Amino acid sequence: MTSLAGSAVSADLLAHAQVTLDDSAFFSDLRTGKAPIEVVRDVFGQYYLWRNQFHRWLGVCVVKSPAFGTEFDASRVLSGLTAHIEEEVGGDHHGLAVRMLRALGVQRPSSVAPLPVTAAYCASFPDRFLAPERDGAEAVAALAGREIASPVRNRVVIDALAAHYGVVSGLDFLSLHETKGPETFAALWDVLVNGYFADEALMERAARREIGEHVAFWDEVYAQLSRTLTAAPA
């Protein structure tokens, strides 16, 4: 099967990510500088907590990967997933995320406590995709959707932090994923098409759903933190 990654599928998903971000309460307020800096800081603290567990989502895809000796290309699937895991570790993503938080004014990232919505989002991927009725290809497609949305999201964040919040350094973690996101998406889509022999139309729908789930997480965190700020005594 010939993959459409980098052309029709990736273009459609990038367009969907852009529309989803445009409709987001948090990213709209961030883009215009309407979001209070203390809320922005805390939103990214929650993102940091989720990002620290992202390797577990990759682990779900490994657990759901096909066995050797089946009709699927297990070697190709596992090679694509382990390359992604190696990038997570070798790229010092945690260290870069810590520096980003400190640039935002969070001096002790280890002191950030998870909101219930963050704990739920961290658990959502294993809860959904480890279910017996869900197959590994769908989990990989969901992961690919999150990856291709990252550069669009990160560009909004980088521009907004510089324009409205005076943050212009410590953002290497975000700029890194502007280039890594499309590369990772293409690699994951290759796993789907040439390892799982998956139906691209079905996989694209799974990727689109995950983009929506991801942006909804940011909006739910923003809504909860905004309510807390409003309720705080003057």
pLDDT, tens only, 4-21: 444 689 999 999 999 999
Quote the DSSP letter at residue 53. T
Q: Dig out the tokens for 87 from the structure.
A: 């990038």
User: Which pLDDT does position 29 carry in this prediction?
Assistant: 98
CA distance 87 to 181: 12
What local confidence, expressed as pLDDT, does residue 2 receive?
45
Cα gap 149→82, rounded to integer Å: 21
C-beta of residue 174 within 8 angstroms of C-beta of residue 154: yes
User: Which ranges of the chain have pLDDT less than 50?
Assistant: 1-2, 4-6
Give the residue among 192, 197, 157 at the shortest CA–CA distance from 184. Answer: 192
**pTM of the complete model:** 0.92
pLDDT at residue 234 in the model: 53
pLDDT for 233 equals 60
In which region does residue 104 sit, left (phi positive, over 0), alpha (psi from -120 to 50) or beta (all else)? alpha
pLDDT of the residue at 7 = 67
